[in-house]
Structure 1
């Protein structure tokens, strides 16, 4: 993990499953290699388990904005996604209380959505990172090691375990 450079934009990747959500904040270094800055995740509550996939993506972005607010306020953000949760919120003819509240929360940040291109995004979160088997603390280490074998660029996460 690296400390973000001031003035450079940050990239945020979202991932969600039927039981958990997570986000990865990354920044391209001077050498052109993208490195992780911060990683957040959590399990979904009973009510959130019934959200549609797009709503889970919106929830992931809102959760990341709450946990990483200081980064969101001080940097321009590139949201690297397959589907655009902000566009989903903006194009809804009528917003329910929850969706309207999320849109209002996200409106204070400088977020630009960019389509995810797999070959150029080595740090894209895999949904398997948030699978139910990872939730238990004993299994987390084994799963992270598996992910590290799959993507060597994440080796900096080992130091945190």
Structure 2
């Protein structure tokens, strides 16, 4: 049995101020800059969980719900939801805060997958993730379905072999 590590130990909170160089012509944070920040926060989370070098393997469905204005404070929160043999799924929430008005909204959410590697770049085993809260348990339970969907879309798993996805859509 692999070692287990509580999900909370991988938690990362990162805060940035949106400056003029980060914005597009509408004075909103550029999407590419947001993805850059998300990748950093998620990578640190995966490194905390695995105590290893990690590489980004995939990014799922980054949704841009709300534009983030120039001068806003952006807070990214990331933590590992589940670990497989060498890969880890990381969930990221992004919050935009306008301090003068006192408003804070969730602007982005995504799942990133990272693979832990050794010094030669070969995949290496990571500890299992141990969810302890109801939210952590819910994300943990959905992670296998999300993983199978990623693998099917990448052509690395036949749809007929995606047991969790088949169970989700089995109406019999």
**Common fold: TM-score over 0.5:** no
Larger helix percent:
1
Larger strand percent:
2
Question: What TM-score, normalized to structure 1?
Answer: 0.32
Larger radius of gyration: 2
